Amino acid sequence: MKSIKNIAIAALLSVGAFAAIVYSSCTKDDCKDVVCQNGGTCVSGKCQCPTGYEGTNCETLSRAKFLTNGSTATYITAVGQDSCYMSGTYTMTVTPGTNSNEITINNFAGYGTSATLTGVVVSGSNFSKADTVTAGAVKIYNVSGSMNAAGNLISFTYTAKDATATATCHATSTKQ
């Protein structure tokens, strides 16, 4: 009788151990049904997007919010909306840049055609340009800014330096 009891206990323990091993060796693949686009990779069930893309599945170009239908967008800065530009309203145009995370801004801060910022890096709703651009007698640098949540205003800061002064400027432009 003891041997049947011992065999039953041993069998029960064996089945329990086997079940525990099988259960613990099964891992759920969180990325099984996740399809990341534009070179994104799935990590723990969420897409990690490459630079220049965003969205649940990396389906959106980050720079798209600064453009109109993926093409040129026009921004108006009215009188009094730029702390350094006092001579009136100016218009800037934004076009897609060379890389997926870049835009180009023409007539930046109303400094004319020589003030074209190329390679402006977009990350989410923010943009920046570290290089110096010379527009006539003015050097423009430390450009940074962001798009508002509604997608119709950009606020930006830049430094302007001429032969006599350096100024940190703040401006807001409305997308047309």
Domain co-membership, 39 together with 93: no
Structure tokens belonging to residue 24: 């613990």
Domain co-membership, 121 together with 76: yes
Whole-angstrom distance, CA of residue 134 vs CA of residue 123? 25
Question: What's the pTM value of the predicted model, to 2 decimals?
Answer: 0.79
pLDDT for 25: 56
Domain co-membership, 41 together with 87: no
- Number of compact structural domains in the chain: 2
Sequence-ordered list of residues with C-beta below 8 angstroms from that of 66, at least 6 positions apart, any chain: 73, 94, 103, 122, 127, 147, 154
Domain co-membership, 122 together with 51: no
Domain co-membership, 50 together with 119: no
The tens place of each residue's pLDDT in the chain, 176 residues long, gives 567 766 656 555 565 556 555 555 566 899 999 999 999 999 999 999 999 999 999 999 999 999 999 899 999 999 999 999 878 899 999 999 999 999 999 999 999 988 999 999 999 899 999 899 999 999 999 999 999 999 999 999 999 999 999 999 999 999 99
Last residue within a domain, chosen from 58, 73, 105: 58
Check if the beta carbon of residue 93 is closer than 8 Å to that of residue 72: yes
- Residues present in the chain in total: 176
Domain co-membership, 84 together with 132: yes
Whole-angstrom distance, CA of residue 14 vs CA of residue 4? 15
Structural domain for 44, as ranges: 24-58
pLDDT for 88: 87
pLDDT for 132: 94
**Tokens 């023409």, residue located:** 106
pLDDT for 23: 57
pLDDT for 18: 62
Domain co-membership, 103 together with 54: no
